[in-house]
Amino acid sequence: MDAEELRRRFEGLTTAHLADACVRARLQVRCAPAGTRAATAGERVAGRVLPAQHVGSVDVFLEAFAGSEPGDVLVVDNQGRLDESCVGDLVAIEAATAGIGGIVIWGLHRDTADLAAIGLPLFSLGAIPTGPLSVHARPDDALESAAVGPWTITREDLVFGDEDGALFVPASEAGEVLRLAESIRDTEHRQAGLIRGGTTLREQVRFDEFLRQRAENPSLTFRGHLRAVGGAVEE
């Protein structure tokens, strides 16, 4: 799936749809840590991961861009640090010039106003005025993987971001996850329309029936009930 098709299919979805689809596909739901948000409200991103481990110097990003493909999303591992930023306006405008589709940081950014003007989607844990405070030895795999919270992300992954945050999906599973996400979206939209039309969600999923059956069979779960009646809120 090329970068353009990926962005097009994500346009009608949310990261919540994708997270639910991962559950349905029995994949780990790999979300960036809570608090990961777009620097500019309303930004969205979807693309192949371009990992980079930040150690205090911009050269790792420049090298990553040299090996990138159009639409790749720079995923920066700055160990979740909250005492320094690792990406600012110069990195962002260089990334945009290189055809990068966006930036996701496990850490902080700065130059927020300039970033908004550049228009490249950027997600991070927030902003702080100071740049890198020190330079450390660069690991051998600095361009092969990036940690984002508890997850190790590689070029074999895709990243998606919207108002709820960011999450990662194996590229090999993207087609199935997107298909499931679209199905979940359509079902939720249909259910929401029925609620607005006067049919409650409880009625749609036959909740009274579930309560009666659970009284007779305490091992019955709501998801098991949904499977039996064709509901789709959690299943």
| Residue 31 falls inside a structural domain | yes
- Is residue 137 domain-shared with residue 191, that is, in the same domain? no
Shared domain for 133 and 187, answered yes or no, is no
Give me 230's structure tokens: 């064709």
pLDDT of residue 232: 58
Same domain membership, residue 128 and residue 81: yes
Q: What is the pLDDT of residue 68?
A: 97
Backbone angles phi, psi at 160, to 5 degrees: -130, 140
Q: What is the pLDDT of residue 64?
A: 98
Judge whether 234 lies within some domain. Answer: no
CATH number at residue 56: 3.50.30.40
Decide if 5 contacts 101 (C-beta within 8 A).
no
| Domain housing 204 | 178-229
* Structure tokens given for 78: 């700055």
If asked whether residues 141 and 44 sit together in one domain, one would say yes
Binding residues for substrate: 88-91, 110
Tell whether 182 and 131 lie within a shared domain: no
pLDDT attached to residue 227:
79
235 is a domain residue? no
Question: Which stretch of DSSP H or E encloses residue 178?
Answer: helix 174-196
Give domain status of residue 200, yes or no: yes
Q: Name the binding residues.
A: 88-91, 110-111
Give the per-residue pLDDT at 233.
57
Q: Are residues 90 and 142 in the same domain?
A: yes
User: Does 204 share its domain with 224?
Assistant: yes
**Are residue 27 and residue 139 in the same domain, yes or no?**
yes
Feature table: binding site for Mg(2+): 111
Question: Does 142 lie in the same domain as 62?
Answer: yes
Asked whether the beta carbons of 29 and 62 are under 8 A apart, the reply is no
Nearest-CA neighbor of 234 among 217, 221, 220?
Answer: 221
- The model's pTM is 0.91
pLDDT of residue 191: 87
Q: CB–CB of 17/181 below 8 Å?
A: yes
Please report the pLDDT score of residue 224 as a whole number. Answer: 86
Q: Are residues 109 and 162 in the same domain?
A: yes
Per-position pLDDT tens, the chain of length 235: 788 899 999 999 999 999 999 999 999 999 999 999 999 999 999 999 999 999 999 999 999 999 999 999 999 999 999 999 999 999 999 999 999 999 999 999 999 999 999 999 999 999 999 999 999 899 999 999 999 999 999 999 999 999 999 999 999 999 999 999 999 999 888 888 989 999 899 988 889 999 999 998 999 898 888 878 765 555 4
- SS3 of 46-100: the string is EEEEEEEECCCCCHHHHHHHHCCCCCCEEEEECCCCCCCEEECHHHHHHHHHCCC
> Are residue 166 and residue 194 in the same domain, yes or no?
no
Cα(89)–Cα(61) distance, integer angstroms: 13
